[in-house]
């Protein structure tokens, strides 16, 4: 056989293979789309290819009107379950207590949490938010052991001392402070120092903030982009944490025979699990980073909104003040608060919950269908995303009478499960909600018992980037109370 004949055979063979591959691809695409056509997917608009309705979504988000400008008009048009396309993914937005219960409690069975590529790269693929099944259970167990009532009992005096030192440094001698900026500094210190035993050094908060700025940015790593700056900041944090973890490990290994596992703070528990071989060093690092982010902007926004609502509702403020004066009277001078004191702050917690109902720190979050899901008479195809929202129930008359009115007393009565969910629900319920509660109650106690205060800009707009925040940092006027 000549070279030419061989070449001709080869070309025939190649053409035939290409023909088969193309036919198979066409058949497969038709079969799939035919299969999808038989499924009744929820109503809604998918918008233009790939981009879908992402621009409308972002525009509404920037104005902090995601619910009013994006979700609500579509609910009016299509109902509580509707489809759209966001950031390249077909997505079904679901609203209502039943939907929240269905999707949040079926985590790992029908859906898994699904974060944008940039979030995963910056938080780390080994963080709890990316873990499923047993790996998730293992990490959650470690976090929960530090943040259950025994762990928190020990944390209360430490948090009190941290708040006192913070006020001495940043409030004392000032007539005006930026409440939101300072609570960010405080919650950052509480997480780093109280949970991880890490001293906050100058510039650290700024480095963490640079990472946060890239969490929802396009994952393009060119010089000058938000994402590449965030990646560099993430590397710095990794180096810093690696040193802290290795030092901690060395200390614990040297004491391990006499003193057993850790001293109770979260980092010690993570390092103890590392020593036992249950988790890796990368997992410790990624989870410290994740916990700092999960804790700090959310809690500071919840605190800021609690003060905003107190500023707007003087009657609620008087009731709350009475509660704290009573707690103060039950203590000796300079005696710190205890975990039991938190139970005496019932009204304060109602005020904070009502503030989080109206201003939830987290809008909702994305899940991904791991199988075709039958829901509400529709099929959500495998691979599609599902977005559950806090606003979908928080602002719904069906669950909260006169939903836009601020009424902490509504929490006198139990709320329908999965209707009030600033902390999410199901297996991924916020692992730190008890700590967030302590932070809020303790901080409110110190401010209202030590200072008279008023909002400087009561109608300050709320912006989102990527989480909500008061656009002017929430300036307040303060003056120390006379003893
Ligand atoms: C007011 C403050 C806070 C709010 C509103 C909040 C809200 C939330 C929400 C809505 C989720 C669920 C996300 C989802 O379903 O995808 C979540 C998860 C989580 N939160 Fe919080 N959070 C707060 C404070 C904290 C604090 C103080 C910590 C820890 C120190 C923390 C640690 C976590 C962790 C580790 C998860 C992931 C749980 C998992 O995947 O199993 N959060 N949070």
Per-residue pLDDT reduced to its tens digit, 248-263: 999 888 875 544 333 3
- The tokens for 346 are 């019932």
What pLDDT is attached to residue 27? 42
What pLDDT is attached to residue 11? 46
Ligand 1, from 423, 443, 467: best to mutate by most atoms within 8 Å of Cβ?
Answer: 423
Q: Whose CA is nearest to atom 16 of ligand 1?
A: 365
Classified as helix, coil or strand, 86 is: strand
**Confidence check: pLDDT of 128 > 90:** yes
Q: Whose CA is nearest to atom 9 of ligand 1?
A: 423
Residues 6 or more apart in contact with residue 54 via CB below 8 angstroms: 47, 85, 86, 87, 88
**Confidence check: pLDDT of 10 > 60:** no
Banded model confidence at residue 367, pLDDT cuts 50, 70, 90 = very high
* Pairing verdict, β 378-380 and 462-464: unpaired
What pLDDT is attached to residue 258? 41
Ligand 1, from 294, 307, 421, 466: best to mutate by most atoms within 8 Å of Cβ?
Answer: 294
Crossing angle of the two packed helices 314-329 and 346-358, in degrees rounded to 10 = 150
For the question of whether the overall pTM of this predicted structure is more than 0.95, the answer is no
Q: Whose CA is nearest to atom 36 of ligand 1?
A: 430
- Which tens digit of pLDDT belongs to each residue from 55-86? 999 899 888 899 999 999 999 999 999 999 99
| Interval between CA 52 and ligand 1 midpoint (Å) | 29
Residues 6 or more apart in contact with residue 91 via CB below 8 angstroms: 52, 83, 84, 85, 366, 384, 385, 386, 387
Are the CB atoms for 396 and 461 separated by under 8 Å? no
**Confidence check: pLDDT of 22 > 60:** no
Higher pLDDT, 251 or 341: 341
| Mean pLDDT value across residues 187-208 | 92
Mean pLDDT lowest for which of 6-10, 151-155, 180-184, 470-474? 6-10
What pLDDT is attached to residue 255? 72
- The tokens for 15 are 């053409």
Query: Hey, how many other C-beta atoms are within 10 angstroms of the C-beta on 473?
Result: 17
| Mean pLDDT value across residues 89-118 | 95
DSSP character string of 335-391: PPP-HHHHHT-HHHHHHHHHHHHHS-SS-EEEEEESS-EEETTEEE-TT-EEEEESH
| Mean pLDDT value across residues 434-453 | 97
Banded model confidence at residue 36, pLDDT cuts 50, 70, 90 = low
**Confidence check: pLDDT of 176 > 80:** yes
Residue (of 204, 195, 191) closest to 271 by Cα position: 195
Atom of ligand 1 nearest to the CA of 440: 1
What pLDDT is attached to residue 338? 95
Task: Give me the residues paired with residue 452 across strands.
Answer: 479
What pLDDT is attached to residue 12? 45
| Interval between CA 141 and ligand 1 midpoint (Å) | 15
Q: Whose CA is nearest to atom 21 of ligand 1?
A: 430
Mean pLDDT lowest for which of 21-30, 227-236, 330-339, 474-483? 21-30
Query: Hey, how many other C-beta atoms are within 10 angstroms of the C-beta on 127?
Result: 24
Mean pLDDT lowest for which of 144-148, 261-265, 333-337? 261-265
What pLDDT is attached to residue 327? 97
Are the CB atoms for 357 and 400 separated by under 8 Å? yes
What pLDDT is attached to residue 466? 78
Are the CB atoms for 256 and 248 separated by under 8 Å? no
CA angle centred on 401, ends 311 and 301, rounded to 5° = 35
Are the CB atoms for 77 and 69 separated by under 8 Å? no
Q: Tell me the range of 38-47, 142-151, 237-246 where mean pLDDT is highest.
A: 237-246
What pLDDT is attached to residue 264? 45
Q: Is 430 annotated for ligand binding?
A: yes
- Which tens digit of pLDDT belongs to each residue from 89-99? 999 999 999 99
| Interval between CA 424 and ligand 1 midpoint (Å) | 8
Atom of ligand 1 nearest to the CA of 367: 16
Alpha helices by DSSP H, 106-225? 117-123, 133-147, 149-170, 179-189, 204-214
CA distances for 265 relative to 162, 205, 237, 252, angstroms: 15, 21, 20, 13
Q: pLDDT averaged over the chain? A: 89
| Interval between CA 67 and ligand 1 midpoint (Å) | 21
What pLDDT is attached to residue 218? 81
What pLDDT is attached to residue 18? 45
| Interval between CA 475 and ligand 1 midpoint (Å) | 27
**Confidence check: pLDDT of 481 > 60:** yes
Atom of ligand 1 nearest to the CA of 425: 15
What pLDDT is attached to residue 38? 63
216/213 Cα distance (integer angstroms): 7
Ligand 1, from 155, 270, 299, 430: best to mutate by most atoms within 8 Å of Cβ?
Answer: 430
| Mean pLDDT value across residues 17-38 | 46
CA distances for 200 relative to 26, 207, 240, angstroms: 59, 12, 12
256/278 Cα distance (integer angstroms): 16
**Confidence check: pLDDT of 9 > 80:** no
Q: Which residues line ligand 1 (CB under 6 A)?
A: 113, 128-129, 140, 143, 191, 291, 294-295, 298-299, 302, 361-362, 365, 422-424, 428, 430-432, 435-436
In percent, the amount of the chain with pLDDT more than 70 equals 90
| Interval between CA 234 and ligand 1 midpoint (Å) | 20
What pLDDT is attached to residue 263? 39
| Interval between CA 28 and ligand 1 midpoint (Å) | 41
**Confidence check: pLDDT of 28 > 50:** no
- Which tens digit of pLDDT belongs to each residue from 292-306? 999 989 999 999 999
| Mean pLDDT value across residues 377-398 | 96
| Mean pLDDT value across residues 42-51 | 93
- The tokens for 105 are 């409690």
349/331 Cα distance (integer angstroms): 20
Q: Whose CA is nearest to atom 32 of ligand 1?
A: 432
| Interval between CA 477 and ligand 1 midpoint (Å) | 31
What pLDDT is attached to residue 428? 96
Give Rg (Cα) of the chain: 26
What pLDDT is attached to residue 256? 54
Banded model confidence at residue 32, pLDDT cuts 50, 70, 90 = very low
Higher pLDDT, 263 or 470: 470
| Interval between CA 195 and ligand 1 midpoint (Å) | 15
**Confidence check: pLDDT of 307 > 60:** yes
Q: What is the ipTM of this complex?
A: 0.99
Ligand 1, from 113, 385, 432: best to mutate by most atoms within 8 Å of Cβ?
Answer: 432
């Amino acid at each position: 056989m000549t070279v030419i004949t061989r070449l001709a055979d080869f070309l025939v063979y190649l053409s035939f293979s290409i023909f088969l591959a193309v036919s198979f691809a066409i058949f497969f695409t038709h079969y799939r789309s035919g299969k999808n056509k038989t499924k009744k997917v929820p109503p809604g608009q998918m918008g233009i290819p790939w981009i879908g309705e992402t621009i409308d979504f972002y525009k509404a988000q920037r104005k902090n009107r995601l619910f009013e400008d994006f979700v609500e008009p579509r609910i009016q048009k299509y109902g509580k379950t509707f489809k759209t396309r966001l950031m390249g993914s077909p997505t079904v937005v679901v609203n209502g207590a039943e939907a929240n219960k269905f999707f949040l409690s079926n985590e790992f069975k029908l859906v898994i949490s699904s974060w944008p590529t940039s979030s995963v790269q910056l938080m780390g693929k080994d963080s709890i938010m990316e873990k499923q099944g047993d790996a998730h259970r293992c990490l959650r167990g470690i976090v929960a052991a530090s943040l259950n009532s025994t762990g928190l009992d020990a944390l209360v005096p430490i948090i009190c001392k941290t708040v006192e030192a913070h006020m001495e440094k940043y409030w004392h001698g000032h007539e005006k402070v930026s409440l939101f900026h300072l609570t960010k500094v405080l919650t950052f210190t509480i997480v780093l120092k109280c949970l991880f035993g890490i001293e906050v050094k100058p510039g650290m908060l700024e480095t963490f903030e640079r990472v946060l700025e890239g969490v929802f940015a396009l994952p393009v790593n060119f010089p000058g982009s938000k994402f590449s700056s965030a990646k560099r900041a993430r590397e710095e944090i990794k180096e810093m944490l690696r040193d802290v973890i290795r030092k901690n490990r060395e200390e614990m290994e040297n004491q391990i025979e006499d003193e057993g596992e850790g001293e109770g703070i979260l980092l010690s528990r993570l390092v103890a699990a590392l020593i036992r071989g249950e988790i890796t060093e990368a997992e410790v690092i990624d989870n410290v980073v994740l916990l700092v982010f999960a804790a700090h902007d959310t809690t500071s926004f919840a605190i800021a909104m609690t003060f905003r609502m107190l500023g707007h509702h003087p009657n609620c403020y008087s009731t709350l003040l009475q509660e704290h004066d009573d707690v103060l009277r039950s203590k000796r001078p300079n005696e710190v608060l205890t975990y039991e004191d938190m139970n005496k702050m019932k009204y304060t917690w109602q005020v904070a919950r009502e503030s989080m109902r109206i201003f939830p720190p987290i809008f909702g979050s994305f899940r991904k269908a791991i199988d075709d899901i039958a829901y509400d008479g529709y099929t959500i195809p495998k691979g599609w995303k599902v977005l559950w929202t806090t606003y979908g129930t928080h602002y719904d008359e069906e669950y909260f009478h006169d939903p836009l009115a601020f009424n902490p007393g509504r929490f006198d009565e139990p709320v329908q499960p999965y209707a009030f969910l600033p902390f999410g629900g199901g297996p991924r319920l916020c692992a730190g909600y008890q700590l967030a509660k302590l932070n809020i109650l303790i901080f409110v106690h110190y401010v209202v018992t030590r200072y008279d205060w008023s909002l400087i800009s009561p109608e300050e707009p709320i912006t989102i980037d990527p989480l909500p925040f008061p656009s002017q940092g929430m300036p307040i006027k303060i003056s120390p109370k006379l003893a």
